[in-house]
Amino acid sequence: MAKSPKKVQFSVLNQDIIVELNQKRKGVYWQYKTVPQSYGPFRSEDQAINDAKLYSQYGTTSKTLLKNPPRR
């Protein structure tokens, strides 16, 4: 029997974001409620939540892009 997804809400840039955490055999995956794609695996729920926050704020989790943002 599969575990039901756990819903987590947090605030980024003054907007409430809701993500679902799914525990699977390889680890924890997160996804937006309205998007069928999931991101992961992560070793813990905390890592998945932090990744979701970073992605929600910057649109990426790439360390290279976060260190050197593109110039506009």
Over residues 1-59, the pLDDT tens digits come to: 467 889 999 998 898 999 999 999 999 999 998 788 899 999 999 999 999 998 888 88
Paired tokens of 72: 């506009």
Residue 69's pLDDT band (boundaries 50, 70, 90)?
low
Amino acid type, 5: P
Q: What is the pLDDT of residue 38?
A: 92
Tokens of 53: 């926050």
> Where do the DSSP E strands lie in the chain?
6-12, 15-24, 27-32, 39-42
Sheet holding 6-12, edge to edge: 6-12, 15-24, 27-32, 39-42
pLDDT of residue 47: 94
